[in-house]
């Protein structure tokens, strides 16, 4: 039976990572980063590997030519093998944004950000799956920036972007520390949810908690707005309870002062393990001289994304909203 291109790539990623993992006695994800770099550079870079291991790797690499695969085929195969590695070594900060959500955010960026070129920031890039999903669905010239505090995740994001030939400027740092980047047109982000432990740093934010630790997802929103151009858009994956928490009052005040809510799209509960972890896509626009609010925000309860008939109805409703609420600053 003929295998798909994604299966071909997955097999090579997986088998070569296992070979490197065994020889270097490292984690599977670390070995995956090594083999991804080999594929991108077109040579085996690990000098400490034995001659026999090098021969085994070369045999696997010769089975594919990475340039013949599409970006989406590369991204999907790379994502699958990362997911395998994450299941073997579960860490709370090692999670990946599902494809369907990435494609939906890409659709929204396309609809709102109508300029022919843009600067785009992902302040919590992780392995780069959300960013590259969006980039693969945009028919635009995009300058991308990603920030990630986790050393391994940003290395995987670096390989991910390189294999798909997306030029992405990466910063390995805490996203809530000062960011030395020029303002961007668009921000996307699957925001880390929870408390931010650095109270000294949080004190520099308007959205710091009056008592105890501040919410990291609140601070990420403020940091992102700070680095967005007037009139720019922000697309965040946020908890459904974002505006119901004990720190929601301050968030309401911040939003009223700095941004316009363009939309709130509640994702189906079936996408999440339980109702308490369910999320939505929040669409904001930074205020500016010629920026006007929509007649009404785009409020949508999305059906199961596998229900084609219901999704078609929702997309028609959204198209009608865009026709009636065309951005006023573009």
pLDDT of residue 301: 92
Q: Please identify every stretch of the chain with a pLDDT value under 70, giving residue numbers as ranges.
A: 1, 89-95, 114, 326-330
Listed residue (19, 122, 20, 132) closest to 74, CA to CA: 132
Distances, alpha carbon 225 to alpha carbons 17, 80, 119, 185, in Å: 39, 32, 14, 10
**Alpha helices (runs of H) in 164-282, residue ranges in sequence order:** 199-202, 216-226, 248-258
Which CATH entry fits the domain spanning 5-88: 1.10.150.470, 3.50.50.60, 3.40.718.10, 3.40.50.300? Answer: 1.10.150.470
Domain ranges in the chain are: 5-88, 99-324
Residue 59 has a pLDDT of 94
* Distance from C-alpha of 207 to C-alpha of 179, rounded to nearest angstrom: 17
Residues 300, 157: Cα–Cα separation, whole Å: 31
Is this structure's pTM higher than 0.85?
yes
Rg (CA), the chain: 21
Helices (H), ranges, the chain = 5-24, 28-41, 51-61, 71-88, 99-112, 129-137, 151-163, 199-202, 216-226, 248-258, 308-324
Return d(Cα 22, Cα 163) in angstroms, integer: 24
The superfamily CATH assigns to domain 99-324 is Vaccinia Virus protein VP39 (3.40.50.150)
């Amino acid at each position: 039976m003929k295998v798909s291109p994604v299966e071909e790539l997955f097999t090579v990623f997986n088998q070569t990572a296992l070979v490197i993992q065994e020889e270097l006695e490292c984690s599977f994800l670390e070995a995956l980063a090594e083999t991804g770099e080999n594929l991108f550079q077109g040579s085996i870079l690990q000098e400490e590997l034995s001659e026999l291991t090098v021969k085994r790797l070369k045999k696997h690499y010769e089975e594919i030519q990475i340039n013949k695969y599409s970006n989406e085929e590369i991204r999907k195969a790379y994502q699958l093998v990362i997911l395998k590695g994450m299941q073997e070594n579960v860490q709370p900060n090692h999670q990946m944004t599902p494809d369907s959500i990435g494609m939906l955010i890409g659709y929204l960026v396309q609809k709102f950000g109508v300029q022919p070129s843009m600067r785009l920031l992902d302040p919590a890039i992780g392995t780069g799956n959300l960013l590259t999903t969006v980039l693969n669905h945009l028919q635009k010239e995009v300058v991308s920036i990603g920030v990630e505090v986790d050393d391994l995740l940003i290395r995987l994001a670096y390989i991910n972007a390189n294999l798909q030939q997306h030029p992405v400027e990466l910063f390995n740092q805490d996203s809530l520390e000062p960011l030395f980047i020029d303002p961007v047109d668009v921000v996307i982000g699957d925001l880390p949810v929870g408390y931010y432990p650095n109270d000294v740093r949080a004190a520099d934010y308007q959205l710091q908690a009056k008592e105890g630790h501040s919410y990291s997802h609140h601070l990420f929103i403020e940091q992102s707005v700070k680095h967005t151009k007037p009139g720019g858009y922000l697309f965040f994956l946020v908890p459904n309870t974002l505006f119901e928490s004990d720190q929601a009052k301050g968030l309401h005040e911040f939003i009223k002062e700095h941004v316009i809510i363009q939309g709130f799209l509640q994702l189906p509960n079936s996408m999440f393990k339980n109702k308490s972890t369910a999320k939505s896509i929040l669409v904001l626009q930074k205020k500016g001289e010629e920026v006007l609010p929509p007649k009404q925000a785009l409020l949508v309860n999305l059906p199961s994304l596998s229900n084609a008939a219901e999704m078609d109805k929702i997309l028609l409703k959204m198209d009608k909203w865009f026709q009636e609420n065309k951005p006023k600053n573009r």
